[in-house]
């Protein structure tokens, strides 16, 4: 084990997988000597050079299209899109080509392609650089959607994403890049895609979250423990495929569920989880599923207004207290 930041864990995962498999390569804007807009590929170019770490022109559609062609011909490309907001410039390529080509060719091809990008608010980057759009990609059959919350998760999930033979949207969080944690230095350290993790066991209420909001949920759970409210906190890790078994197993103990997400509340992942619980676990509920999410507004530039718009630990704790009001 070694202590490293979230961004260092990502770079280490890329280096290990490029060492392991000569077919792995990386491409994107400023991913070469500069080391990526968020410094999450520092050292990769110095080790592997410009044939395998390719700086591209500023065209997200061209970047993803080139990576798709590479994947179809036997390579395992890792793409970096600077901000998840910029995926709007290549959504046709992602949604209509990358996600569908294996199905349309009857499974005769594989698409081992990882699209790394980052989202989330909290840095006053304003409306076009602060969105949490994982729900868009989770709604597209053919894509896996992965959202790591810690340095260890970032490394283990990225390595698994690179090794899988289907396209993966690997969504990092801009606020987490400097977070530190213990990370395995085993080059075969993997975290399986599609398996949630019970980060904190509890008996009274289940909190389901991912990425940065998972860490804020743990802060809320710590505060509520002093009030004799015992929260079980689940890190989804993967939005698609969604580990409903883990959610239902927890709900069978607690009877109450809060979903916390940084995406907008309307039509979000919390809404999808709520619907599935109604279909698969209605009898387990002692009250309605509740959600904490970003307000249905573009993310403000103003730090004060941004804080109002997005979730935080206090809002999460308040939502849980309300679930127990009058009991």
**Same domain, yes or no: 302 and 261:** yes
CA 25 from chain centre, in angstroms, equals 21
pLDDT at 275 over 90: yes
In a domain, 108, yes or no: yes
- How much is the pLDDT for 229? 97
- How much is the pLDDT for 75? 98
pLDDT at 246 over 90: yes
**Same domain, yes or no: 53 and 80:** yes
Sheet holding 197-200, edge to edge: 197-200, 231-235, 205-209, 257-264, 290-294
- How much is the pLDDT for 125? 96
- Which of these is catalytic: 16, 17, 60, 261? 60
Q: How far apart are CA 228 and CA 249, in angstroms?
A: 22
What does the pLDDT look like over 124-164, one tens digit per residue?
A: 999 999 999 999 999 999 999 999 999 999 999 999 999 99
In a domain, 28, yes or no: yes
In a domain, 190, yes or no: no
Does residue 60 have an active-site annotation? yes
Q: What are the structure tokens assigned to 82, written together?
A: 């600077």
In a domain, 188, yes or no: no
**Same domain, yes or no: 253 and 291:** yes
In a domain, 189, yes or no: no
Mean pLDDT for the stretch of residues 207-231: 98
Mean pLDDT for the stretch of residues 203-232: 98
In a domain, 214, yes or no: yes
**Same domain, yes or no: 30 and 100:** yes
Overall number of domains in the chain: 2
**Same domain, yes or no: 6 and 131:** yes
Residue 303 belongs to what domain range? 197-324
Mean pLDDT for the stretch of residues 238-243: 98
In a domain, 26, yes or no: yes
**Same domain, yes or no: 303 and 233:** yes
CATH of the domain at 146: 3.40.50.970
pLDDT at 233 over 90: yes
- How much is the pLDDT for 16? 98
Q: How far apart are CA 22 and CA 19, in angstroms?
A: 7
**Same domain, yes or no: 169 and 259:** no
Q: How far apart are CA 45 and CA 18, in angstroms?
A: 11
**Same domain, yes or no: 249 and 288:** yes
High-pLDDT (> 90) share of the chain, % = 99
**Same domain, yes or no: 56 and 142:** yes
pLDDT band at 34 (very low <50, low <70, confident <90, very high): very high
Does residue 129 have an active-site annotation? yes
**Same domain, yes or no: 96 and 29:** yes
pLDDT at 327 over 90: no
Domain boundary among 149, 183, 217: 183
- How much is the pLDDT for 124? 96
Helix (H, G, I), strand (E, B), or coil: what is residue 63?
A: helix
In a domain, 289, yes or no: yes
Domain boundary among 118, 151, 183: 183
- How much is the pLDDT for 19? 98
Q: How far apart are CA 131 and CA 85, in angstroms?
A: 6
- How much is the pLDDT for 250? 98
Mean pLDDT for the stretch of residues 225-249: 98
**Same domain, yes or no: 202 and 80:** no
Domain boundary among 134, 154, 183: 183
pTM of the model: 0.97
**Same domain, yes or no: 75 and 103:** yes
pLDDT at 326 over 90: no
CATH of the domain at 263: 3.40.50.920
- Which of these is catalytic: 16, 29, 45, 129? 129
In terms of DSSP bridges, do strands 231-235 and 76-81 run parallel, antiparallel, or are they unpaired?
unpaired
- How much is the pLDDT for 242? 98
- β-bridge partners, 234: 198, 208
Q: How far apart are CA 21 and CA 17, in angstroms?
A: 6
Is residue 24 within a helix (H) or strand (E), and if so which, with residue range? strand 24-28
């Amino acid at each position: 084990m070694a202590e490293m930041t979230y961004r260092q864990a990502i770079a280490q995962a890329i280096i290990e997988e490029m060492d392991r498999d000569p077919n792995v390569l990386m491409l994107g804007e400023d991913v070469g000597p500069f080391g990526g807009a968020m410094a999450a590929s520092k050292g990769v170019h110095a080790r592997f050079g410009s044939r395998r770490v390719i700086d591209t022109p500023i065209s997200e559609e061209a970047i993803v299209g080139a990576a798709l062609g590479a994947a179809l011909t036997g390579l395992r490309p890792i793409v970096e899109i600077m901000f998840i907001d910029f995926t709007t410039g290549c959504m046709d390529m992602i949604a209509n080509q990358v996600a569908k080509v294996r199905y349309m060719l009857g499974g005769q091809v594989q698409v081992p392609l990882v699209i790394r990008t980052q989202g989330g608010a909290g840095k006053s980057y304003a409306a076009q650089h602060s969105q949490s759009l994982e729900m868009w990609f989770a709604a597209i059959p053919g894509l896996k959607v992965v959202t790591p919350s810690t340095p260890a998760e970032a490394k283990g999930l990225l390595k698994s994403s690179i090794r899988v033979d289907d396209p993966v949207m690997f969504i990092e969080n801009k606020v987490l890049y400097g977070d530190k944690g213990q990370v395995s230095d085993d080059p075969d350290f993997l975290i399986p895609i599609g398996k949630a993790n019970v980060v904190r066991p509890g008996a009274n209420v289940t909190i389901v979250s991912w990425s940065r909001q998972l860490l804020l949920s743990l802060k809320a759970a710590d505060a509520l423990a002093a009030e004799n409210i015992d929260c079980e906190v689940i890190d989804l890790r993967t939005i698609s495929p969604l580990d409903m078994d883990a959610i239902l197993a927890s709900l069978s103990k607690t009877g109450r569920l809060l979903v916390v997400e940084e995406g907008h509340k309307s039509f979000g992942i919390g809404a999808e989880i709520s619907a599935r619980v109604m279909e698969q676990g209605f009898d387990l509920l002692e009250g309605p599923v509740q959600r904490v999410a970003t307000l249905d507004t573009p993310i403000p530039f103003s730090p004060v207004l941004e804080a109002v718009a997005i979730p935080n630990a206090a809002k999460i704790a308040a939502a849980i207290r309300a679930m127990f009001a009058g009991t």
